[in-house]
């Protein structure tokens, strides 16, 4: 994915535009484009450290930094009080992983191979975890929809209470999930033993100080770009004719996940569907069990209490995506038509989000 | 299914009643009964042409004309502006295929054979396609439910926009599905190689002009009967104490699908559950990907713009039916109790529709 | 489970408190604790009679008396007009079986065995039946939600009509289910041939009069305790700061099902996951097909017409629980993380119910 690094040119462009008070729309676009390669570099540096650290600590590093870009963007949006954008980006990240990434991987892989089979065992285990995690994450929304008719006045406070409690339970479950993946059942779920899992990171190992330095620099650069992105959000969306809902649900997740997306497609093109599936499913589990609850707790810290209540459209979309992904996975094999259908659902959902009226 | 042809007697009866301005209720019932054998004859003539045409073009003929009866009835209802009836008949056709047809086939087959197994491969592939297609088709309804609370005034226009866009995406997916079924993956999904698939069409081949003539005559007769049916709908439903909702959701689909229903049951009684399952699942996929979007586009042509937004009861019913059918199929085997449960859900749903209040 | 019998001490305590007009809260708690061992004794006596009666009649006895405790408690609540508590206890019983019981069994079993596999055949058959039964049971609720916006005035009467009709269909399906389980397909579903299924009932057989006597005495004692429980419900819940909704959905099901819960966990600890799964799934099917419709019909007899319409929160919770349980079962194997996730969903749901505002 080295060609992606060409986009690093947008890093100085974004800084130049910001310093010279250039057009907010151009700053927004430059920052967005600059984040794509930075996320890839963060992933690469983490991978290098992970190889040095040995498999358990390395796995932990990979798992924790895997969604770092999304977390950083969402954190700046949270601090700026754009709670609807934060929540939309959580849902959008899961939709993107389950429909766009899996859809692209299955479609493109399916054009090359007539049928792609994969080991059902790890894929269905992760699909099970996914269904349960997402349902747990959605309980505050269901509660809100169910309780809203009864006491509208008290519902805001109850939403925050239940969301905080849910976030704590989910983080505890995440710790158990990490223990499960890295210690107790690592032989089942780990893809570390598959030499192909690391193909793209071939070549000489980086020294530890160099890897740490690259990771730190890329993280800081992502942080600045995220601040630019959030700072120009209002001006850019109104100039581009987009809603914040569309930006949170569609644009930010595509920016934040691009590096992972490329990896899932690459594995599909090498007929390694297990790895491809595990990336899109596992990344979604991480968003549900770590990213979303961390943002709720971070909201308490920065004085922006955020609940986990999303719109009914988001609830329905995420439910549909989990059902569809589970249905594709339980097959045990994929073909291009399934990939095309996943992409079609993503396109129709994106159209629905595009048409969705502003409150 | 030759005994069904006895009902052809209702063809002249319906015409006689119409010409002599007889009771609308009797015209309605005669037209409904006349359509049953006509749909069977259309299927038979298409099959004959398909055998002559070779398997690819023949498959295309079968796929396209498979839902012709439903399309014709729905088109006349559309032209008459009975949009709720059209939408109800789309949903009802899918409910009928997934619950009534599959239920009858599984139940009656299960009374004869203790356990009926089937090749999971093609059945689960079609079940996957089904789940995804139906979810895509339902997005406009979910959008409407989610957005209604925000801007009730603008929602009608947005519903039409999103429905048109969804229809275009679904038709493109349908073309891909036809290519997938007939060209790229025909060996997986085709039932053409199974000699039993054509058992019921044994006997001498018809000449092409004869088959074309029969097909044309039956199609025209179905068209007239459909016009009678729609023309007497209001009078007949109020005389019979039924709602248009019940007629669209329960009666019309039973009339339009009777021939297919008989085929699915026959295959189940011969312990060919693969074929039986493929008929009810595949027919539902066709409704979602072809019939429904074609009607939306036809609505634009005849000046009756129709959206794809159905009632919450219909949304829930179709969701439940897809979950249930998927659950039965993923088993890989069926027994009479599963069939009975499918029929019980259909009966309870029909009761709910019967009790459903008029707006 | 003999240690549970220690709790029998609360039987005389509850009676003493009731006679001396003691604190309602203490009566409530004593009655609740006394029911736990009584339910176990009822199960034991039924088992003894079942062994004597031969397998078919015995199976019928077990199936019918399996949910007797829940039925008795719910019946007294019904007679007292506490319809919301009755409906909540129906839903809560299913949630408890699918999330708490299955979760505890999978979690504790998973701590002992790294992976527990089970025969998919009977488990997925029961999971299929479960999904269909629960959907059928939920149709009146879906109907109510869908129709409420149209004619709020007429909806109450329609709800009762549809619920009565649904109850009749479900009871007929239950009779078919019993015939299926005990006669037509007993070889597939029966766990009677597994010697371990009866391990805990080892020891000398009771004489029939003794077993009948014990069963009668325990049933009467449960009845009295249930009356105490319902009679002190209002006072105790307000003293304890709980809502009736919480009591019906969480507390009563735990009390009524404790004996079954223990059995499911014991089988999991002996690595007999088939039996463990069948207990939690089968018990849920019984609630949907027998307990719920019987209570609707009993409501008509005692002049407390009850519909099957539950709150949207309950509808969503039961839907989620069925999806999750199906997802865990279709895996064909379980591990402690899946159990923990089931328990986490139960905890978050219980929190949601706890926060749920009073109407």
pLDDT tens readout for residues A317-326: 898 898 888 8
Residue of C95, C106, C141, C344 for testing the chain A interface, max A β-carbons within 10 Å = C344
**What is the DSSP code string of C123-176?**
HHHHHHHHHHHHHHHHHHHHHHHHHTTT-TTTHHHHHHHHHHHHHHHHHHHHHH
User: Percentage of residues in chain A with pLDDT exceeding 90?
Assistant: 39
Nearest beta carbon to residue B176 from set A327, A340, A345 = A340
pLDDT of residue A301: 93
Residues in chain C with CB shorter than 8 Å from the CB of B340 are 173, 176
B352 and C140: CB-CB below 8 Å? yes
- The confidence score (pLDDT) of residue C203 equals 66
B1 touches chain C (CB under 8 A): no
- Residues of chain A neighbouring B169 (CB-CB closer than 8 A): 344, 347-348, 351
Query: Which of A156, A178, A160 has its CA nearest to residue A297?
Result: A160
CATH of the domain at A213: 1.20.1420.30
Q: What is the rounded average pLDDT of the residues B73-89?
A: 93
The answer, yes or no, to whether residue C317 has pLDDT greater than 70, is yes
Question: Is the minimum CB–CB distance between A152 and chain B shorter than 8 Å?
Answer: no
Instruction: Assess C345–A contact: CB distance below 8 Å, yes or no.
Output: yes
The shortest CB-CB distance from B145 to any of A312, A330, A349 is to A312
Q: Which residues pair with B117 in a beta bridge?
A: B333
CA distance A218 to chain C (A): 34
Kindly report the CA angle at B126 between B125 and B131, in degrees rounded to 5? 100
**Distance of alpha carbon C105 from the chain centroid:** 16
Pairs from A197-200 (Cβ < 8 Å, separation ≥ 24): A197/A275, A198/A47, A198/A51, A199/A270, A200/A1, A200/A263, A200/A266
**Following DSSP, what letter does each residue of C10-51 receive, concatenated?**
HHHHHHHHHHTT--HHHHHHHHHHHHHHHHHHHHHHHHHHHH
Going by pLDDT thresholds of 50, 70 and 90, the confidence category of residue B78 is: very high
Stretch C265-269: mean pLDDT: 90
What are the tokens at C345? 């969903």
Q: Is C143 on the interface with B (CB under 8 A)?
A: yes
Which ranges constitute the DSSP H helices of A155-270? 155-179, 186-189, 208-231, 233-240, 244-246, 252-269
pLDDT tens, residue by residue, A69-92: 889 999 999 999 999 899 999 999
- What is the tens place of the pLDDT at every residue in C147-177? 777 777 777 777 888 899 999 999 999 999 8
Sorted by sequence, the CB contacts under 8 Å of residue A247 that are 6+ apart come out as A85, A88, A233, A237
Q: Residue A357 and residue B150: Cβ atoms within 8 Å? A: yes
Query: For A237-290, how does the pLDDT look when each residue is reduced to its tens digit (9 = 90+)?
Result: 899 888 888 888 988 898 888 877 888 888 899 998 888 888 888 888 889 999
Whether C329 shows a pLDDT value over 50: the answer reads: yes
CB contact under 8 A, A173 and C341: yes
Considering only CB atoms, B357 lies closest to which of C147, C326, C330, namely C147
CB-closest option in C125, C146, C172 to B311:
C146
What does the pLDDT read at residue A24?
94
The reply to whether residue A352 touches residue B151, judged by beta carbons under 8 angstroms, is: no
Percent share of chain B, pLDDT over 90: 40
Given a contact cutoff of 8 angstroms between Cβ atoms, the answer to whether A170 and A137 are in contact is: yes
Q: Is the pLDDT of residue C59 over 90?
A: no
Identify the chains in contact with C, defined as 3+ C-beta pairs within 8 A.
Answer: A, B
Q: What gap in Å lies between CA C116 and CA C331, rounded to an integer?
A: 11
Residue pointed to by tokens 């004996």: C259
Encode pLDDT of B56-67 as tens digits: 777 777 777 778
CB environment C118-134: b (16+ within 10 A), e (fewer): bebbbbbbbbbbbbbbb
pLDDT grade for A169, boundaries at 50, 70 and 90: very high
Mutate which: B140, B142, B318, vs A, most A CBs within 10 A: B142
Which pLDDT band holds residue C193 (cuts at 50, 70, 90)?
very low
- Asked if C180 has any chain A CB less than 8 Å from its own CB, the reply is no
The predicted structure's pLDDT at residue C295? 95
pLDDT attached to residue A347? 92
Record the tokens describing residue C132, joined without a space.
Answer: 């269909």
DSSP SS3 for B190 = coil
Quote the pLDDT of residue B356: 81
pLDDT bin (cut points 50, 70, 90) of residue A359 is low
The CA distance from A18 to the nearest CA of chain B, in Å, is 36
pLDDT band at A188 (very low <50, low <70, confident <90, very high): low
The mean pLDDT value for B79-98 works out to 92
Q: What is the pLDDT of residue A189?
A: 58
A83-95 vs A252-269: helix crossing angle, rounded to 10: 10
Please tell me which chains touch A, using 3 or more CB pairs under 8 Å as the contact test.
B, C
Residue in C136, C154, C165 nearest the CB of B345? C136
Overall average pLDDT of the C1-6 stretch: 76
With an 8 Å Cβ cutoff, is A180 touching chain C? yes
pLDDT tens digits along A141-164: 888 887 776 777 777 777 888 899
Within 10 angstroms of residue A4's Cβ, the number of other Cβ atoms is 16
Contacts A340 to B, Cβ<8 Å? 173, 176
Global confidence as pTM:
0.86
Contact list in C for residue A139 (CB cut-off 8 A) is: 320, 345, 348-349, 352
Residue A34: is its pLDDT beyond 50?
Answer: yes
Q: Write out the residue range of the structural domain in which residue B91 sits.
A: 2-355
C131 contact B CB<8A: yes
The secondary structure of C58-107 as a DSSP string is HHHHHHHHTTHHHHHHHHHHHHTT-HHHHHHHHHHHHHIIIIIIHHHHHH
pLDDT digits (tens, 9 = 90+) for B283-295: 898 899 999 999 9
Tally of domains within chain B: 1
- Of C177, C174, C154, C155, which is closest to residue C166 (Cα–Cα)? C174
pLDDT tens, residue by residue, B314-332 = 888 898 898 888 888 877 7
Distance from the B246 Cα atom to the nearest Cα atom in chain A, whole angstroms: 27
Q: Is B230 helix (H, G, I), strand (E, B) or coil?
A: helix
Give the range among A76-80, A129-133, B257-261, C164-168 with minimum mean pLDDT. Answer: B257-261
Which residue, among B152, B317, B327, would best test binding to C if mutated, counting the most C CBs under 10 Å from its CB?
Answer: B327
Tell whether the model's pLDDT for residue A133 goes beyond 60: yes
A124, A147, A170: residue with CB nearest C356: A147
pLDDT at B198 over 60: no
Give per-residue burial for A235-263: e unless 16+ CB within 10 Å, then b.
Answer: ebbeeeebbbbbbbbbbbbbbbbbbbbbb
> B125 to chain A nearest CA, in Å?
7
Distance, in Å, from the CA atom of B37 to the CA atom of B40, rounded to the nearest integer, reads 5
Q: How many CB pairs under 8 A join A and C?
A: 99
Residues of B within 8 A of A359 (CB-CB) are 150
Res C201: pLDDT:
52
Q: How far is B27 from chain A (nearest CA, A)?
A: 42
Instruction: Name which of C165, C176, C185 is nearest B340 (Cβ-Cβ).
Output: C176
Distance from the Cα of residue A40 to its chain's centroid: 13
CA separation for the pair A116, A63 (Å, rounded)? 27
The confidence score (pLDDT) of residue B1 equals 56
Task: Flag whether pLDDT at A193 surpasses 50.
Answer: no
Q: Is C347 on the interface with A (CB under 8 A)?
A: yes
pLDDT, average across residues C81-98 = 92
* Residue A199 reports pLDDT greater than 50: no
Q: In this model, does residue A192 exceed pLDDT 50? A: no
Closest C-alpha to B277, from B163, B122, B111? B122
Chain C partners within 8 Å of A326 (Cβ): 327
């Amino acid at each position: 994915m080295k060609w992606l690094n060409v986009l690093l040119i947008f890093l100085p462009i974004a800084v130049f535009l910001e310093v010279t008070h250039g057009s907010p729309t151009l700053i927004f676009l430059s920052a967005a484009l600059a984040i794509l390669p930075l996320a890839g570099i963060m992933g690469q540096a983490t991978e290098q450290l992970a190889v040095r650290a040995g498999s358990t600590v390395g796995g932990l590093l990979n798992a924790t930094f895997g969604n770092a870009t999304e977390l950083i963007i969402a954190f700046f949006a949270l601090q700026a009080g754009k709670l609807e954008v934060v929540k939309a980006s959580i849902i959008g990240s899961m939709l993107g992983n389950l429909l766009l990434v899996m859809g692209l991987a299955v479609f493109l892989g399916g054009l090359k191979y007539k049928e792609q089979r994969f080991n059902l065992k790890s894929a269905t285990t992760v699909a099970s975890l996914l269904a349960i995690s997402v349902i747990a994450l959605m309980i505050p929304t269901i509660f809100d929809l169910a309780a809203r008719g009864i006491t509208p006045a008290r519902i805001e406070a109850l939403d925050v209470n239940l969301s905080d409690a849910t976030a704590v339970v989910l983080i505890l479950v995440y710790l158990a999930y990490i223990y499960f993946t890295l210690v107790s059942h690592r032989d089942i779920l780990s893809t570390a033993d598959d030499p192909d899992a690391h193909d793209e990171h071939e070549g000489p190992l980086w020294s530890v100080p160099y890897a740490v330095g690259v990771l730190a620099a890329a993280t800081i650069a992502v942080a600045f770009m995220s601040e630019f992105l959030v700072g120009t959000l209002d001006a850019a969306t109104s100039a581009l004719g987009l809603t914040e809902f569309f930006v949170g649900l569609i644009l930010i997740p595509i920016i934040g996940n691009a590096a992972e997306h490329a990896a899932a497609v690459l594995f599909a093109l090498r007929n390694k569907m297990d790895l491809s599936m595990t990336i899109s499913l596992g990344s979604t589990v991480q968003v549900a069990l770590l990213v979303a609850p961390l943002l709720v707790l971070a909201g308490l810290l920065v004085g922006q209490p955020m609940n986990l209540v999303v719109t009914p459209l988001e609830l329905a979309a995420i439910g549909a995506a989990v059902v569809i992904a589970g249905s594709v996975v339980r097959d045990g094999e994929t073909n291009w038509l399934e990939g095309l259908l996943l992409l079609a659902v993503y396109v129709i959902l994106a159209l629905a989000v595009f048409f969705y009226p502003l409150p």
